[in-house]
């Protein structure tokens, strides 16, 4: 695995030789999806995200990412933003991803 800034919570061997790997980021903070300011006021965790990974030998690998959530105290309503984009190179951080991230929906692929 070549994922930077990742810590593994646990590894579960599932059916059909599927390895389920539960991970979280070791980085702190993200940027508010509304105002773009750096925020680091922790606000629980977002919904778990399932990411497919390349097979390892005869095993299928599935990553489960538990994104940290952060709250912006500058914006009205104190919106929260999930920290998920650390898996993407900066070049992939385009408007489409930004929109998906802001909406907090959709399966995202590593
Ligand atoms: Zn904000």
C-alpha 98 to ligand 1 mean position (Å): 14
44 belongs to a structural domain: yes
Residue 92 has what pLDDT? 38
* Cβ–Cβ < 8 Å for 70, 30: yes
29 belongs to a structural domain: yes
14 belongs to a structural domain: yes
pLDDT, one tens digit for every residue, the chain (110 residues): 455 677 889 999 999 999 998 988 888 899 999 999 999 999 998 888 887 777 888 988 888 888 899 999 999 999 999 886 445 433 333 444 455 555 554 444 54
C-alpha 19 to ligand 1 mean position (Å): 37
Residue 65 has what pLDDT? 83
Number of folded domains that form the chain: 1
Does the pTM of the predicted model rise above 0.75?
A: no
Strands of 4-108, DSSP E: 6-13, 18-25, 30-31, 38-39, 41-45, 49-56, 59-65, 68-71, 80-83
Listed residue (88, 25, 22, 92) closest to 61, CA to CA:
22
1 belongs to a structural domain: no
Structural domain for 70, as ranges: 6-103
C-alpha 80 to ligand 1 mean position (Å): 8
C-alpha 31 to ligand 1 mean position (Å): 8
25 belongs to a structural domain: yes
C-alpha 70 to ligand 1 mean position (Å): 10
d(CA 106, CA 40): 24
110 belongs to a structural domain: no
């Amino acid at each position: 695995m070549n994922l930077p800034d990742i810590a593994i919570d646990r590894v579960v061997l599932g059916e059909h030789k599927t390895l389920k790997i539960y991970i979280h980021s070791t980085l702190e903070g993200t940027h508010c999806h509304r105002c773009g300011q750096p925020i680091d006021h922790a606000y629980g965790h977002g919904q778990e995200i399932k990411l497919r990974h390349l097979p390892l030998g005869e095993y299928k690998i599935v990553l489960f990412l538990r994104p940290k959530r952060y709250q912006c105290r500058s914006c009205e309503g104190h919106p929260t933003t999930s920290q998920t984009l650390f898996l993407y190179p900066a070049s992939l951080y385009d408007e489409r991803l930004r929109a998906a991230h802001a909406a907090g929906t959709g399966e995202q692929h590593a």
